[in-house]
Structure 1
Amino acid sequence: MKISDITVAAMLALCTSTAFAQTYTKAQQQAWMEKAGLCKPVLDTTVCHPVAVVDIVKDDKAFQGYKAVARPGIDDLYTKSFKQMKSVTLDFGRHMVGNVSFKIKDIGPMQDAVLRFKVTFGEVPSDLALPIEPFTGSLSRGWLQDFTCDVSYDGSFTFNRRISARYMKIEAVGTSQYSDFCFDDITFKATTSATQHTAELAATTPQIFKDIARVSENTLRDCMQGVFEDGPKRDQRLWMGDLYLQALANTATFKNYGLTRRCLYLLAGLANADNGLLYSNLVEYPQPHAQNTFFVDYALLYVSTLADYLDATGDTATANELWTVAKRQVDVIAGKALDSKWLYADTGYQFDGMPVSMVFFDWSPVKLDTHAAIQGCLANAVERLCSMGVKLGRKSEVKSYGTLQERLRKAGHAAYWDKKNHRITSGADRQTSYIATAWAVIGGLVNANEGRQAIKAVMADGNAIKPGTPYANHFLVAAMLKCGMDQEARDYVEDYWGGMVRLGADTFWEYYVPEDHMFSSYNGYTLLNSYCHAWSCTPVYFIVNYPDVFQR
């Protein structure tokens, strides 16, 4: 073993020492929670009303086989008998998140009984057309937005939970033969913590990229609530992987850096105090609390999120305060999970003190091998940590990390670069996937020329595993741009995110597999899918930050 190896090995061994019996003090984490509280935003509220009556009609060319077609009748809703109308589907004109209420009024004899309605909300037209029952989803039935609403003599009803939708279907299922009514008001109070600042694009920007940027902003806006939520319909949580992408998009659009700061502090304040590791996600209400799962790749992205925040704001005070949290993710993961060959060889490794540890990267349609991806992700995190350390005047603290980065890259190149076929392979079965290839490029396991060869090879391979989510596709575009494949990146954004726009998306979706619109990781039950999802919002980041690629 070389001297440099001994230095790195000693650094990694320190991670397992008893000196880290408690990484963060109770007072320290409480202070972080208090700072997160000071950054809690006041939500902006816009009062909206339905703009059209629509019919949801079958169309084999539409997303999931259904589209909304406007028809006359919005004024009739407020003047004519709904008892005769019986059912209506309303369009609010855009996707919204917030509180919904409605009020009815008598148009004949006074209301003499409690009225019952069935109300269903949809983010996309198919939400109102596909059958809910039998419910076969793998998540809670409670995520679905279908309600029974009883309206008493005051004639008003307010939904007791926040709604995420564009469409609202109302059906009268219990009325009185002695009275009649119409609607007096239907209100959607849409909320967001986004600012009024939006992306600035050159006049030469092609319309498709303007549209993609607009839908990106819509998606991010509706996911910006008290925290950066992953999806306002489901899961309504702050997930670290989504946060990384939302924070990037935020730098190109709304520039609400206080919300990024709040999320960074919340995650740190709720981290495992003993081992220092960050839980994968948290719920904001009634009090912020973490779900006790550990996603290795998400924890490493905390490093990048903090580094990006520092670059965007110059806020060295926050970055210095949270430095120990970012550094700890690298120290523990590298110290515990690397083998003697500097490889993250066991992707199923369970970290002490964490109930569940996993390497994620994507909900792929086919089981994904993550060995090459996590090797690249760790190497990238080390690089970002070193760069941030230099900017913060902590160069001495990351002196040995350059060698660690070199060892990770060399080991990854030797293990996963198929020189003969010019591609990245991952795991014992030498699996080929877009994700492994993207992260090998991002992490520097291959050089730029090898990266270009690998990306071209994987995209030409009909058997290679494609991404299942916009989240994973983001990193493929990032890899293309890193190794100089500007035209390919432009084409991919136009084809993939532009594909959703052409299918009518006004916010981007949790899943989009172009050849299978019915894909869902929830036991194939698409009604659980989120159609406004944070990890799909990043094209606007690329469009703004690479103007020579996307704005001409």
Structure 2
Amino acid sequence: MYIICGSRAIRLLVVVGVLFIGLMGQIDLFAQLPPAFQQVDGMQVRHDPRVRKYVSPIRVHWQSIADEQFISNPSYLTGPNRGQAVLASQQDFCILRSSSSVKPSILLDFGITLHGGVQFVTGMTGNKEPVRVRVRFGESVSESMSEIDTIGGATNDHAMRDFILPLPWLGAIEVGNSGFRFLRIDLIDEDRELILKEVNAVFSYRDIPYLGSFKSSDERLNHIWDMGAYTVHLNMQEYLWDGIKRDRLVWIGDMHPEVSTINAVFGFNDVVPASLDLVRDITPMPEWMNGISTYSMWWVIIHRDWYRQHGDLDYLKAQKSYLDQLTELMVSRVEGNKEKLDGTRFLDWPSSENPEAIHAGLQAMLIWAFDAAADLYGILQDPRKESQAKSMASSLRSYVPTHGDSKQAASLMALVGLIDAQKANQEVVAVGGVKDFSTFYGYYMLEAKAKAGDFQGAIDNIREYWGAMIDLGATTFWEDFNIEWMENAARIDDFVPDGKVDVHASYGGYSYEKLRHNLSHGWASGPTAWMSRHVLGVEVVEPGATVLRIQPNLADLDWVEGTYPTSKGVVHIRHERKSDGSISSEIKAPSGVVVQVVAPGK
């Protein structure tokens, strides 16, 4: 992990009118309430699985004026973190003072992108009236310095990241829910003094262990694996979100890479079934999940993958009624052997203006979904529905549309066997390296390269494409990225020098234009799942991951080691290249897990 935080006691907050309770662990909430509340009929109590930690800034990145008359001792804010206002000498506290012409500002850096809000702890001034400040959260320095307008794309959509807040005299207040690394504070009233004892980030997250791990002879790959895991972890809030700043919503298609990463890193977590069920329950037939036909297909595929990893047959059985209806809906949107899907026809944003690619991708997605449905019906012992799903997949495979030179479409077609994987890689996916990669479908481009046996090419792509975001100062992976953005680009964790390009404020399109662009987006975590699957070499064979097939593909790596979670415990794995070029493997599996070792790749 990137942050070491001091521990805090769990707090129980009861507010008359709006009741919110956050407790750690799996406990009976109602039993923890005061007796008076247990006697109120009809009360609903929601368990919040998250915890809060209070994180001090690592530095004051900028201040609007150097004159101590207006800003004094700002570095104090990087010091003690107790969260308590005190009746004590406050000569060392940070003090902001305004005049009729000067309104001071500071910019704090918390060192890493996190999800949550901010805690202000104030001192004792002569004037007891609340002091108003403007608060601006930013995933980049540019965003934290921005205005909400129609030019730069900054927004308060889904979460307030730019607002005015009154601060109390000699007290503490917590506010905000967003994704951010930087926090700008402006004193906005004239002739006021603000004494700041503390400004802490309130880090809200699930306190869960990283059961899976990955380390290799390449530190860049290690950093990428870790960053993908952390990006998904931030989006595991009460539900599994797209982004922690904007798009704090459950999008089922976007969940597939996230769930793949969760399986490899955290093992079982109830955020996945809760999110799957939420979207199922708000999507009556014949609607598509999130209004997008492929997203309902991803729901089927995720359920197949989730069952393989965790083996919860009772949970799978609870999906059968909806699965039956969804399968019939998919069948009804096929004419002959071709897809005729309605709803929003969508793969990912960069492919959205290529109708040939969309048609080819939808054809492949239907095949993938019917294959997954057939697997599920086999498990659920429904031979009629299993036969129907297999028949639909077979019929759809008899028609091969053109991929429109789209890496997205070609990758999907290769993965379901519509086109030869090696041919798809050589003629489309590998052309131009990471040119036209995307953070969402980049995962399936890597998977297509693995199917083609191009493990070295995939690893090189990971280093170049996802590594480029790290080179620009990212601490989490982004909603989208184009390798062409690297030309003359400035880092996002500092002010943009003259003559350099502000990546966050200049690029992005569709729903993520400029500063609206999420810089922590779970669908970009594909390399984490991919490296556990193909470099560490772990393939789940039987439900609950009770049987694993392990085949490493080291490419140019000297060694790789890591862990993988199963329903029986954690498997420890190490592969090392010997002097003669062969690969030796050491594997320690818990009781109840059978490991099938396959001859290593190169």
| TM-score bracket relative to the smaller structure | 0.7 to 0.9
Which of 289, 293, 301 in structure 2 is aligned with 1:279?
289
Residue number in structure 2 paired with 1:98 = 116
Deviation, 1:76, is 6.6
Deviation, 1:382, is 1.1
Distance of aligned partners of 1:139 and 1:405 in 2 relative to their CA distance in 1, 3 Å threshold: farther
Residue number in structure 2 paired with 1:171 = 186
Q: Indicate whether 1:510 and 2:479 are aligned.
A: yes
Deviation, 1:366, is 6.7
Distance of aligned partners of 1:434 and 1:397 in 2 relative to their CA distance in 1, 3 Å threshold: same
Distance of aligned partners of 1:458 and 1:392 in 2 relative to their CA distance in 1, 3 Å threshold: same
Q: Could you report, residue by residue, the CA deviation over 1:348-369 in whole angstroms, capped at 9, with x for unpaired residues?
A: x3xxxxxxx1121111177122
Matches within 5 A, 1:22-171: 42-55=49-62, 74-75=75-76, 79-83=93-97, 86-106=104-124, 110-130=126-146, 132-135=148-151, 137=153, 143=159, 145-154=161-170, 156-159=172-175, 161-171=176-186
Distance in 1, Cα, partners of 2:112 & 2:532: 24
Matched residue type, 2:116: G
Contact kept in structure 1, 2:60 and 2:109, CA below 8 Å: yes
Q: Which TM-score applies when normalising by structure 1? A: 0.75
Matches within 5 A, 1:518-529: 518-522=506-510, 525-529=513-517
Q: Could you report, residue by residue, the CA deviation over 1:412-434 in whole angstroms, capped at 9, with x for unpaired residues?
A: 2xx33xxxxxxxx3xxxxx3211
Distance in 2, Cα, partners of 1:531 & 1:47: 22
Residue number in structure 1 paired with 2:411 = 438
Q: Which TM-score applies when normalising by structure 2? A: 0.69
Distance in 2, Cα, partners of 1:143 & 1:396: 47
Distance of aligned partners of 1:43 and 1:487 in 2 relative to their CA distance in 1, 3 Å threshold: same
Matched residue type, 2:121: K
Deviation, 1:137, is 4.5
Structure 1 segments unaligned to the other structure (5+ residues): 1-36, 58-71, 281-293, 350-356, 417-424, 426-430
Distance of aligned partners of 1:169 and 1:297 in 2 relative to their CA distance in 1, 3 Å threshold: same
Distance of aligned partners of 1:181 and 1:480 in 2 relative to their CA distance in 1, 3 Å threshold: same
Distance of aligned partners of 1:311 and 1:39 in 2 relative to their CA distance in 1, 3 Å threshold: farther
Residue number in structure 1 paired with 2:280 = 268
Deviation, 1:143, is 4.9
Deviation, 1:156, is 4.1
Contact kept in structure 2, 1:434 and 1:465, CA below 8 Å: no
Contact kept in structure 2, 1:220 and 1:537, CA below 8 Å: yes
Distance of aligned partners of 1:366 and 1:519 in 2 relative to their CA distance in 1, 3 Å threshold: farther
Contact kept in structure 2, 1:52 and 1:74, CA below 8 Å: yes
Distance in 2, Cα, partners of 1:185 & 1:223: 27
Residue number in structure 2 paired with 1:421 = none
Deviation, 1:504, is 1.6
Deviation, 1:142, is 6.8
Distance of aligned partners of 1:268 and 1:257 in 2 relative to their CA distance in 1, 3 Å threshold: same
Identity fraction in percent: 19
Which one has the bigger helix percentage?
1
Distance of aligned partners of 1:42 and 1:322 in 2 relative to their CA distance in 1, 3 Å threshold: same
Residue number in structure 1 paired with 2:522 = 534
Deviation, 1:224, is 0.5
Distance in 2, Cα, partners of 1:56 & 1:304: 50
Residue number in structure 2 paired with 1:26 = none
Matched residue type, 2:303: L
Distance of aligned partners of 1:245 and 1:81 in 2 relative to their CA distance in 1, 3 Å threshold: same
Distance in 2, Cα, partners of 1:217 & 1:261: 19
Count of residues in correspondence between the two structures: 451
Structure 2 segments unaligned to the other structure (5+ residues): 1-43, 65-72, 79-91, 486-502, 537-551, 561-602
Q: Could you report, residue by residue, the CA deviation over 1:215-270 in whole angstroms, capped at 9, with x for unpaired residues?
A: 11211111011110111111111110122221111011122432212122222222
Matched residue type, 1:166: R
Residue number in structure 2 paired with 1:501 = 470
Deviation, 1:463, is 13
Q: Indicate whether 1:302 and 2:299 are aligned.
A: yes
Q: Indicate whether 1:549 and 2:519 are aligned.
A: no
Contact kept in structure 2, 1:213 and 1:543, CA below 8 Å: yes
Matches within 5 A, 1:437-476: 437-446=410-419, 450-459=420-429, 466-467=436-437, 469-476=438-445
Distance of aligned partners of 1:176 and 1:531 in 2 relative to their CA distance in 1, 3 Å threshold: same
Distance in 2, Cα, partners of 1:297 & 1:219: 24
Matched residue type, 1:455: N
Contact kept in structure 2, 1:39 and 1:262, CA below 8 Å: no
Q: Secondary structure at the match of 2:476?
A: coil
Distance in 2, Cα, partners of 1:242 & 1:38: 29
Distance in 1, Cα, partners of 2:405 & 2:107: 45
Contact kept in structure 2, 1:366 and 1:465, CA below 8 Å: no
Distance in 2, Cα, partners of 1:462 & 1:246: 27
Residue number in structure 2 paired with 1:324 = 321
Residue number in structure 1 paired with 2:253 = 241
